[in-house]
Every structure is written in C-alpha cells, then in structure tokens.
Structure 1
Amino acid sequence: MVLDLFVIGLMIALNPLPIMAFVLVVSAPGGVWKGLAFILAWLGCLVVVIALVLLVTGGQPPPPRSPPSTAGLAVRLVIGIGLVAYAEHRRRRRPAADAARTSGESPSGSAEEPSALTRMDRTSAWSAAGLGVLLQPWGMVAAAAATVLQADLSHGATYLALIGFCLLATSTLLAMELYMVFAQERAARALTGMRAWLSDHKDPAIVLGCLVLGVWLAARSLYELTR
C-alpha cells in the first residue's frame, strides 16, 4: 500500500494542470490568501476521500480474496486501464492541437494569458477554493481511495503513510505557496515563467504521467488478482 500511495501521490503532485491554475491564483492580487484557500480545499478533498474509505472499512483491510478485496483490486485495474486509454487519446490528439496552434495561436498561449489573469484578479478566496476542488485529478484520487481499502489503522505506520500521501500530493502547491510568502516578487517572475513552459509542455507531461500511473496500477492489480 505504501509504495502504491507514493506513486499515486507523486503523479498527483506533478500534474501540470493544477500547477498552472495555482500559478494564476497566487499571481493575482491577494494571491497568497487565495493560494492558501486553494490548498486547503485541495487537501480537504484528499482527507475527506480517505476518511470516507476508512469509515466504510472501519480501519481494517478486507481479508485477501474476499469480495471487497477483489472489488478494490478490480476498481484499481479499471482505473489503470482508463488512465492508459486517456494517455493514448491525448497523445493522438496532439498533432491536431499542434496544427491549430501553429496556424493561428501563440505556442505559449500568450493570447489567453491577459484574459485569464484579468478573470483571476476578480476571483475571491472562495472561488480559488472551488478551483482546488474542481482541478483535483479525480481519477488518480479514486485510485488512491481504492488503495486505502488496504489500510490497517491498528499500525501506527499506516497513519504516517496516509499523512505522507496527502502531503506528497500537495507538495508542489505547498512549495509554490511558501515561495510566494518568503520571496513574492522573485517567486512571481519564476512561477510565471514556469507556467509558460508548462503551457507548451503540458500535453506530453499529462500523457507520460497517466501512462506511468496507469501501467503501474494495472500491473499491480493484475498481479494481486492472479497470484
């Protein structure tokens, strides 16, 4: 369970779409507070999902080969296959997107940048919190929930693993928030540059992340189901 949660948490932390949105949030007026609202909502979603799973299981993993255990592995297998299929769909869509970009759009999406910044200037902390919920990579979170079915709360290490997963999945956002707190002007320039880079490279990053996690989940689930 611990290794699976580590891989899932890492893929969530490196997902470029929430990172790009968070940069816009913290770059807006009052961005530090809006960023904090985003992080709290993001982290709250992870905690609620884990708590609901533990509430259902009572903090005790289902016996091996039991229907709940098999169902959890089957769910992880389906999610893994779905992530691989999504990665392939996104990869096939890239040529058309690249053609559209070269025919009339700026590669870095700079035409949309002022409009996005203007909209973000008008958002409140509550709106930023809503973004933290909407931009959660829910497929990956569902995989984490299926993995948490195996959690055994009678061991103290389980608590550390669950806390570590939540912190790892939020680590990129926390790092950017702290950077803005302690070096706001320098952080704003660096994060804006990073967002421009991600805008050009987000599709390969999403494809790679979904493919890696999908293959991992599918392989692990098949192994557990067939051993």
Structure 2
Amino acid sequence: MLVDLIVIGTAITFGPLHNSACMLLLTSHRGVRKGLVYLLSWLANLVVVIACVLLLTGGTPPQRHSTPSTAAVAAKLAIGVGLVLFGGYRLRRPPRPRRAPRWTARIDQASLGTAAALAWLLQPWGLVAAGAATVVSADLSSLSSWLVLTGYCLLATLSLLAMELYAVWAPTAARTRLDALRTWLEEHQEQLIVTLSLLAGLWLTAGSIYALVT
C-alpha cells in the first residue's frame, strides 16, 4: 500500500490542471484566501474519499484473494489500463492550439465558494479512484496505516500547500514567480499529462497483474 500511495500521491500533486488553477487564484484579488479555501477543499475531498472506503471496509483489510480484495485489485488494473490508453491517445493526438479555459478569464471575480468547487471539479478522479482502491488494504488498528494515509493526503496536497505558504510569506515575489510557472505549465501541459498518465498507469497495471497472479 505504501509504495502505491506514494506513486499515486506524487502523480496527483504534479498534475498541471489543478496547480494552474491554484496559481490563478493566488494571483487574483484576495488570492491568499481563495487559495486557502481551494487547498482545504482539495484536502477535504481526499479525506472524504478515504473515509468512505474505510467505512465500507470497517478499517479492516479483506483477506488476500477474497472477493473484495480481488475487486479492489481489478479496479486498480482497470484504472491503470485506462491511464495508459489515455496517455497513449494524448501522445498520438495531433498538436492543438493552446486556449485557456473560459473560466480562467473570470477567476479574479471568483467567490470563495467557486474556489472550493474548483478543487472538487479539477481533482484527477482516475488517480483518486486508484488511491481509494489502494486504501481498501488499510488496517486502522495499525499506527503505520494511519501514518501512511496521512502522508498520502499531504503528498497529494503538497504542491498547493507550498504555493499557499509562498504567497503568504512572500506575496510580491510569489505573484511574479507563480505567473511565470503557470505560463510554463500551460506550455508543457500536454507533456506533463502524458508522462504522468503513462507512468502512473504502467505502475498500477504492472502491480495489479502481479497481485492477481501471485
């Protein structure tokens, strides 16, 4: 569980779409507040998903090769294959002109509620679902499982937390550098999406196949 959640959490935290949205919020009017609400909403999403899984399992991992355990592994396999196919499709797709989504033009007037909603809308749900399938094996009677789950949530939120703290402690410098970083992300968004999808997808696929056959 530990290594899988590290891979998934890393892929989530480096995703370009939600990071670009956070940068836009932080450099807008009342940006620090919007960024904080966005961060907390993002973290709450991860916690809610994990809590739902643990409620279903009762905090006790299913027996290896039981029906629930096999179903969780099969779900991770399906997600992994889907990510590989998605990454391959985006890799082979002809280049398209870059156009910013319409909502980015209205981000400066966005309310705190809108900032919170964006965090849920921009979640990489495929990776979040893979994390949920992995959490099925968590044992809440073990301190190590609590630490792993906490670390996963923090890792998946790390980029947002770093930007929020930067905007709080160095607002002037943060605005300039976050604008530059957002421009870079927009220019390399396609490459990042393809790379993260393929790497995470291949890892999940290989690990799931191994778990099913051993």
Q: What TM-score, normalized by structure 1, do the two folds share? A: 0.91
Aligned mate of 1:182, from 169, 175, 181: 169
Q: Find the counterpart in structure 2 of residue 36 from structure 1.
A: 36
- For the residues of structure 2 that align with 1:63 and 1:96, how far apart are their CA atoms? 47
Between the aligned residues of both structures, percent identity stands at 49
**Shift in Å, 1:117:** 5.5
AA paired with 1:154? Answer: S
Matched residue, 2:149 = 162
Matching of residue 137 in structure 1 with residue 121 in structure 2: no
Query: Distance between the aligned counterparts of 1:74 and 1:118, measured in 2?
Result: 41
Match of 1:224 in 2: 211
Q: Aligned letter for 1:206?
A: I
Per the normalisation by structure 2, the TM-score is 0.97
Corresponding position of 1:74: 74
Q: Secondary structure at the match of 1:28?
A: coil
1:1-80 aligned at under 5 Å gives the runs 1-80=1-80
Instruction: From the superposition, tell whether residues 76 and 118 of structure 1 become closer, same or farther in structure 2 (CA, over 3 Å).
Output: closer
How far is 1:121 from its partner? 1.2
Residue deviations 1:185-226 (CA, integer Å, cap 9, x gap): 100100000000111101011100000000000000000000
- The change in CA–CA distance for 1:117 and 1:218 in structure 2 (over 3 A counts) is closer
The structure that has the greater radius of gyration is 1
AA partner of residue 51 (structure 1): A
Alignment partner, residue 158 of structure 2: 171
**Shift, 1:172, TM fit:** 0.1
Q: Distance in 2 between matches of 1:143 and 1:181?
A: 33
> Offset of 1:170 from its aligned partner?
0.2
- Which deviations, in whole Å up to 9, do the C-alpha atoms of 1:98-142 show, x marking residues without a partner? xxx3xxxxx6x5xx59x7664111110110000001000000000
Amino acid at match of 1:165: Y
Separation in structure 2 between the aligned mates of residue 87 and residue 153 of structure 1, nearest angstrom: 35
Paired residues, number: 214
Unmatched 5+ stretches in structure 2: none
Q: How many Å apart are 1:96 and its aligned residue? A: 3.5
Paired AA for residue 9 in structure 1:
G
Q: Which amino acid aligns with 1:199?
A: E
In structure 1, distance between residues paired with 2:195 and 2:109: 34
The runs of 5 or more residues in structure 1 that have no matched partner are 102-106
Deviation of the 1:92 alpha carbon: 1.6
Partners of 1:87 and 1:135 in 2: how far apart?
18
Q: For residue 42 of structure 1, report the CA deviation from its aligned partner.
A: 0.5
How far apart, in 1, do the equivalents of 2:165 and 2:65 lie?
45
Runs of 4+ more than 6 Å apart: none
- Tell me what 1:153 maps to: 140
CA distance in 2, matches of 1:121, 1:161: 37
Contact 1:28 1:117 in 2 (8 A): no
